[in-house]
Amino acid sequence: MNTMHAFRDEGMKSAFREFLELYPDFVATYPVDDLRAKEYSRVDAQHHIYLDYTGGNLYADKQVREHHELLRNHVFGNPHSSNPTSLAMTDLVEHARHYILEFFHADPEEYVAIFTPNASGALKLVGESYPFGKGDQYLLTFDNHNSVNGIREFARARGAQPTYVPLELPDMRVNESQLSEFLDLARPGGKNLFAYPAQSNFSGVQHPLEWIEQAHQKGWDVLVDVAAFVPTNRLDLARWKPDFVPLSFYKMFGYPTGVGCLLARKSALKELHRPWFSGGTITVASVQGDTYYMADDEAGFEDGTLNYLTLPAVEIGLRHLTAVGLDMIHTRVQCLTGWLLENLQAVRHSNGAPVVRFYGPLNIRARGGTITMNFYDPEGRFFDHRRIEAEANARKISLRTGCFCNPGGGEIALGLSQTELAGCFNQPQERLTLDDFRLCIDGKSFGAVRVSVGLVSNFADVYHFVQFAGSFVDRRK
């Protein structure tokens, strides 16, 4: 299907023509429009404008169909046994595991794939098992997801020092010479862990994967959170060698939820000490002998029974992404993001003031399809992000507001200082609600609006969002 014919709106048609002149590479991604019409038709039939791919991806009808057919046509038992139904399941689970490694070009001699409930589950495995000791270091960038921030509590409890690497405005990138100084903090002979997102779920910034080797050279183990990166970018573990790589599969292909994975280098995994043992993680455990032996590799990290029936759907999802082509998805996301950034900047009040101000890079160099912003009136007063969300909801636009579980990104972007935040945390009441926080820091927004494009985004999605932004022209707070 030629996308142009799908537009009834004349304004959209001419905007699309201009878009193609600026982004001719988009033409090569037309197969995605066909795919959307065939496999994701419910989105358009129900008039949804889906702009929350960083929150979660959408699934193709055929992923669900194929998975359900598999379940309906076979008899599967718990993979912990050696009976025929169990062996059939084990076969599929191990197939999925191998396919994950293959998808990321990870050598099975070097990496293992550990199934977890989600990226947070993968991060918790690292946090609770990393052998931090007194004087060790946990270094992380400001723009990490809370599940990476949370590892600092494990670090601190064992006497290690958490240190945050700041970001520079307006692009929200790290100053690399400053990073190099932070990397010098590694305790010689100690356990030092450096964590950063390959793509920030706040600003869309893609931090260099070259940092992995730089950090290794200076004595760090490296955790790269790829949860927001891998849905639209190729991660090649034959080229890059991070020690710990957490991700959630629903962010890559929508279905199934409830499964993530920790890709871990075997050499780094050997250094981890799990704080307990459980069903599935030991070779032998004795009650009277009061002893246990941990299982090797991934088995030592998968507690209890896996969510086994869903695991074949992970392979189905990865094969779906492979069939579409990550390069095609990447190109499409780049084109749509570039156009969105340019056209949102052009939305102006009559007095020339911008309607939208961004947090993150304004061009597509080293950034993904996540764009975070706030809306302003002609006098430069921000609209509460909850109001923007309510109005977007009314148009069936799915976007995200708040801080996206990325408080450090939010604090830098919104200019919330340590003194202001400390003032809030020192209020007389024990626990502040988010609304208390809002009132506490006068005159500053306490959240932002995030849109993100992905796998089956199309031109109409981004066009509608620019129209939506246009509806705020000359409106007063």
CA dist 372 and 409 (Å) reads 10
Q: Does 228 bind ligand PLP (CB under 6 A)?
A: yes
Q: Does 230 bind ligand PLP (CB under 6 A)?
A: no
Nearer to ligand PLP among residue 155 and residue 347 (C-beta): 155
Q: Does 52 bind ligand PLP (CB under 6 A)?
A: no
Nearer to ligand PLP among residue 225 and residue 298 (C-beta): 225
CA atoms within 13 A of residue 464's CA, in its CB half-sphere: 23
Pick the catalytic residue from 261, 335, 403, 405.
405
Contacting ligand PLP within 394-413 (CB under 6 A): 405
Q: Does 248 bind ligand PLP (CB under 6 A)?
A: yes
CA dist 57 and 452 (Å) reads 10
Nearer to ligand PLP among residue 228 and residue 449 (C-beta): 228
Smallest gap from residue 454 Cβ to ligand PLP (A): 12
Contacting ligand PLP within 295-324 (CB under 6 A): none
Smallest gap from residue 119 Cβ to ligand PLP (A): 4
Smallest gap from residue 467 Cβ to ligand PLP (A): 27
Smallest gap from residue 365 Cβ to ligand PLP (A): 20
Contact status, residue 273 vs residue 86, Cβ threshold 8 Å: no
Which range touches ligand PLP (CB under 6 A), out of 223-231, 376-384, 444-452, 458-466? Answer: 223-231
261 a catalytic residue: no
Residue corresponding to tokens 């009650």: 287
CA dist 9 and 345 (Å) reads 22
Nearer to ligand PLP among residue 123 and residue 392 (C-beta): 123
Answer for which of 90, 141, 149, 201 binds ligand PLP (CB under 6 A) is 201
For residue 415, what are its two tokens?
A: 């200019």
CA atoms within 13 A of residue 391's CA, in its CB half-sphere: 15
Contacting ligand PLP within 256-275 (CB under 6 A): 260
Nearer to ligand PLP among residue 132 and residue 250 (C-beta): 250
Smallest gap from residue 25 Cβ to ligand PLP (A): 26
CA atoms within 13 A of residue 298's CA, in its CB half-sphere: 20
CA dist 186 and 172 (Å) reads 24
Binding mask 153-172 for ligand PLP (x = CB under 6 A): --------------------
- DSSP state, residue 381: P
Q: Does 147 bind ligand PLP (CB under 6 A)?
A: yes
Contacts of 270 (CB under 8 A, 6+ apart): none
CA dist 12 and 4 (Å) reads 9
Alpha-carbon distance values, 31 to 28, 325, 332 (Å): 8, 10, 11
Contacts of 260 (CB under 8 A, 6+ apart): 115, 116, 117, 118, 119, 120, 121, 122, 246, 247, 248, 249
Q: Does 141 bind ligand PLP (CB under 6 A)?
A: no
- DSSP state, residue 302: -
For residue 337, what are its two tokens?
A: 């993001």
Smallest gap from residue 227 Cβ to ligand PLP (A): 4
Exposure of 37 by Cβ count < 10 A (0-12 exposed, 13-18 middle, 19+ buried)?
Answer: middle
Answer for which of 97, 124, 145, 367 binds ligand PLP (CB under 6 A) is 145
Nearer to ligand PLP among residue 16 and residue 253 (C-beta): 253
Q: Does 227 bind ligand PLP (CB under 6 A)?
A: yes
3-state secondary structure of 401: strand
Smallest gap from residue 463 Cβ to ligand PLP (A): 26
CA dist 54 and 333 (Å) reads 12
Smallest gap from residue 123 Cβ to ligand PLP (A): 7
For residue 305, what are its two tokens?
A: 């029974």
Nearer to ligand PLP among residue 16 and residue 53 (C-beta): 53
CA dist 15 and 9 (Å) reads 10
- Residue ranges that bind ligand PLP, judged by CB under 6 A: 54, 118-120, 145, 147, 197, 201, 225, 227-228, 248, 260, 405
Residues with catalytic function: 405
